[in-house]
Amino acid sequence: MKQGVTTLKRLFIIMSLTSLLALGSYSIYEYTHYTLKNSERAITGFIHEHLGSKQEEPLLLEAFQIEDTNRVVATFEYDQDKLGAAIFIKGLYGKLKLEKFLLDNTYYSEVIPTKEGAITLFIGENLQTSVKTIETDIVNQGVRVKIAIPPQKYFTHISKLEDAVKINADPNYMYRNLKGAIVGSASELEGMELMFVDESNQSFLIYSEKNAVLKTVLGGYQQNDDGFMITGVEEPNFYSMNGEKSFCYEEKKVSAHPVEHTYFHGLVPPSDKVQKVVLEVERKEKVIYKFSSMVVADQFLIHISLPEILESDDNLVKKFHFYDKEGNYIRTEMKS
């Protein structure tokens, strides 16, 4: 009996020593790997050191622990206007260890597994604060996840998803208004002004004029509850505005998902003070179709709803009737 008790005591001592050694080893690991204090000042200093001494001190935007996880997230602005993020693991004794350092992008996403399921972290910059919705690079149950974006410069969004998977795809941005969508789709379009918006056919024409050269771009867009998204932009056209301008027009096509639209874009002489252009298409002196457009900055844009009519007969005559702001007839330009 005494021998059995002695054996149990020895086993208990061995187990206790093993536990103490394991705890001691883990404590040493924590103290050597989890070294960062969980404070805004310490996190800012760590980020600054990580960026390099030549960088100015970053501006810490926020630092927080994700609920039900041991992850601490810090977002920051560096190099004056760039967005970065750092993800830390919080140790048993409250100090932090760096897990990921994210730089050089305007959008970041991470899937963080937990015992309760996946948590998805989204961090990004809302360009011109005009983004309304982002179709992300995260798929949940076979569908790309969309998130609503607040009208502020930077955002952080956390979602609890059961089946989140990150895919190799760029996020798609939907904007609060058409102008924001145009600028967001291509930086070279920034500074151009909206001239015509065809809401019925979701198309637009933008323009700019510099050094007597007119630049125009025709494009298509899609609008729904998520916002505006550009579906197609044609190559720009350039026109010299030097000297007296005579009447001219050209046919343009643009892809506005899911169809292609045909337009006549034209210029009228400024001296005529034209406010409206009415196009009549005739065959054998009989009007078979009529289109119209208001004039903006001496330009018009007419949507051709049945382009096949123009292509069906070489003997068609196009008559462009000009009207002033009171609706008075001015004159007619004819093109065959």
Q: Mark whether 312 and 169 lie in a shared domain.
A: no
* pLDDT band at 60; cut points 50, 70, 90: very high
CB 332 within 8 A of CB 320: yes
Same domain, 223 and 276: yes
Instruction: For residues 336 and 331, give the distance between their C-alpha atoms in angstroms, rounded to a whole number.
Output: 17
Q: What is the pLDDT of residue 7?
A: 63
The whole domain housing 81 covers: 40-174
Same domain, 281 and 315: yes
Which residues in 73-91 are b (16+ Cβ under 10 Å) and which e?
bbbbbbeeeebbbbbbbbb
* Whether residues 244 and 293 fall in one domain: yes
Instruction: Place 285 in a pLDDT band, splitting at 50, 70 and 90.
Output: confident
Q: DSSP for 93-116?
A: TS-EEEEEEE-S-SEEEEEEEETT
pLDDT tens string 216-242: 999 999 999 999 999 888 888 888 877
Provide the number of structural domains found in the chain. Answer: 3
- Between vectors from CA 290 to CA 288 and to CA 295, what angle results, nearest 5°? 160
70 plus 161 within the same structural domain: yes
Residue-averaged pLDDT of the chain? 86
The predicted structure's pLDDT at residue 312: 65
Residues 164 and 183 in one domain: no
Same domain, 5 and 132: no
Is pLDDT of 48 > 80?
Answer: yes
In this structure, the answer to whether residues 80 and 57 fall within a common structural domain is yes
Per-residue buried b or exposed e for 214-244, using 16+ beta carbons within 10 Å of the residue's own CB: bebbbbbbbeeebbbbbbbbbeeeebeeeee
- Name the helix (H) or strand (E) containing 221: strand 213-224
Q: What digits encode the pLDDT tens for the residues 143-173?
A: 999 999 999 999 999 998 888 889 999 999 9
Query: Is residue 190 located within the same domain as residue 329?
Result: yes
